Structure 1
Amino acid sequence: MEYSHKFIEVETSFYVLIPKKEEIVKACEVLFIKFRKLMPDIVYHYVVFGYWQDKAGGVNLANGVEDYFD
Structure 2
Amino acid sequence: MTSTLSASNRIDPQRFLTMAEVAAELRVSRRTIERHVREGTIRAIRLGRLRRVPASEIVRLRASAGSG
Assess same fold via TM > 0.5: no
Give 1 or 2: higher strand fraction: 1
Q: TM-score, normalised by structure 1?
A: 0.29
